[in-house]
């Protein structure tokens, strides 16, 4: 991998340096399927870039990491470029200083790959309305992570729900994919009418009320959220006319599926790394209508 540093630079110089490096290495900019813009703080950049790079092994991308530094310093743009065999695509880490922090879109826009989708990911704090953010407005898909915020996942999920626009999604939703798949499979056979239910998870875990909202919206039944010791989601219980359908996870890897009239069954239900969640979201670049229905139901019914 080749790393090249540019201090007090411009977007034009960065693009020219990328072209020079590709020519030097004999690696033309082909095969990259999207531009992934990661907007984060300095303290999050290492983990965020690692997750983005791992996700890019499935979706070769130009990864643009945007870090807004001190806004009271003179205007300056520093860049770190990475390209090579160990990097599935291209990486540029941008550090913005001074008034440039308020105009990050003017730096990012010239660096977007032409004629390819743009995805923006905020691993930590995100705008209240991502679609109206200057960088978010450049993207077809906008990924947030309610769980990644210091102030509490539930309240950040409320903000995401109120500011939702088509193309938005949250990694709290991606964390639910194995749960939703298992629950959907459990209903492949007739199980009767669901009267009520409950989702248990660690206190403040945003995926719990999101799963409850999805279930309530799909089943037309009240689903409450209760706290557990965790980690993450621990169980779903649905009351049926002839008993209870439940999924109970105890060790973040395996779960027990119980259905009326059938023996209990152990199923794989492992917690996944951020890179896996991000790779899943990058597989679809259109709006997720199921997430939209769930998050809007959450916005209507949440009483916290």
Determine the pLDDT at residue 30: 57
What is the domain partition of the chain in residue ranges? 2-169, 173-268
Q: Is the pLDDT of residue 162 over 60?
A: yes
Condensed to tens digits (0 to 9), the pLDDT of residues 272-288 reads 999 999 999 999 888 99
Determine the pLDDT at residue 232: 87
Determine the pLDDT at residue 218: 92
The 3-class SS string of the chain reads CEEEEECCCCHHHHHHHHHHHHHHHCCCCCCCCEEEEEEECHHHHHHHHHHHHHHCCCCCEEEEEEEECCCCCCCEEEEEEEEECCEEEEEEEEEEEHHHHHHHHHHHHHHCCCCCCEEEECCCCCCCCHHHCCCHHHCCEEEECHHHCCCCHHHHHHHHHHCCCCCEEEHHHHCCHHHHHHHHHHCCCCCCCEEEEEEEEECCCCHHHHHHHHHHHHHCCCEEEEEECCCCEEEEEEEECCEEEEEEECCCCEEEEECCCCCCEEEECCCCCHHHHHHHHHCCCCCCHHHHHHHHHHHHHCCC
Condensed to tens digits (0 to 9), the pLDDT of residues 236-273 reads 999 998 889 999 998 878 999 998 888 999 999 998 99
* Confidence grade of residue 27 (pLDDT, cut at 50, 70, 90): low
Determine the pLDDT at residue 149: 57
Q: What is the pTM of this model?
A: 0.92
Determine the pLDDT at residue 151: 47
Determine the pLDDT at residue 197: 96
The residue that leads in pLDDT, 247 or 191, is 247
């Amino acid at each position: 991998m080749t790393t090249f540093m540019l201090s007090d630079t411009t977007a034009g110089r960065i693009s020219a340096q990328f072209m020079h490096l590709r020519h030097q290495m004999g690696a033309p900019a082909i095969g990259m399927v999207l531009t992934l813009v990661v907007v984060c703080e300095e303290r999050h950049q290492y983990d965020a870039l690692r997750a983005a790079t791992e996700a890019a092994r499935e979706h070769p991308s130009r990864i643009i990491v945007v870090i807004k530094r001190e806004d009271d310093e003179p205007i300056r743009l520093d860049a770190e470029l990475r390209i090579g065999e160990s990097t599935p695509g291209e990486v540029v880490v941008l550090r913005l200083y001074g008034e440039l922090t308020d105009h990050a879109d003017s730096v990012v826009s010239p660096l977007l790959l032409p004629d390819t989708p743009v995805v923006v990911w905020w691993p930590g704090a995100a705008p209240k309305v991502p679609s109206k953010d200057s960088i978010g407005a450049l993207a077809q898909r906008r990924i947030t992570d309610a769980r990644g915020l210091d102030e509490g996942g539930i309240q950040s999920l409320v903000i995401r729900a109120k500011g939702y626009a088509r193309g938005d999604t949250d990694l709290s939703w991606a964390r639910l994919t194995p749960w939703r798949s298992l629950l959907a499979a459990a209903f492949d056979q007739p199980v009767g009418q669901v009267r009520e239910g409950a989702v248990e998870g660690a206190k403040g875990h945003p995926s719990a009320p999101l799963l409850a909202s999805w279930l309530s919206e799909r089943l037309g039944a009240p689903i409450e959220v209760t706290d557990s010791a965790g980690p993450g989601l621990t169980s779903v219980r649905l009351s049926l006319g002839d008993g209870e359908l439940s999924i109970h996870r105890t060790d973040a890897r395996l779960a027990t599926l119980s259905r009326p009239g059938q023996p209990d069954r152990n199923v794989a239900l492992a917690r996944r790394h951020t890179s896996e969640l991000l790779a899943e979201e990058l597989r679809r670049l259109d709006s997720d209508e199921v997430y939209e229905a769930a998050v809007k139901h959450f916005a209507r019914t949440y009483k916290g």
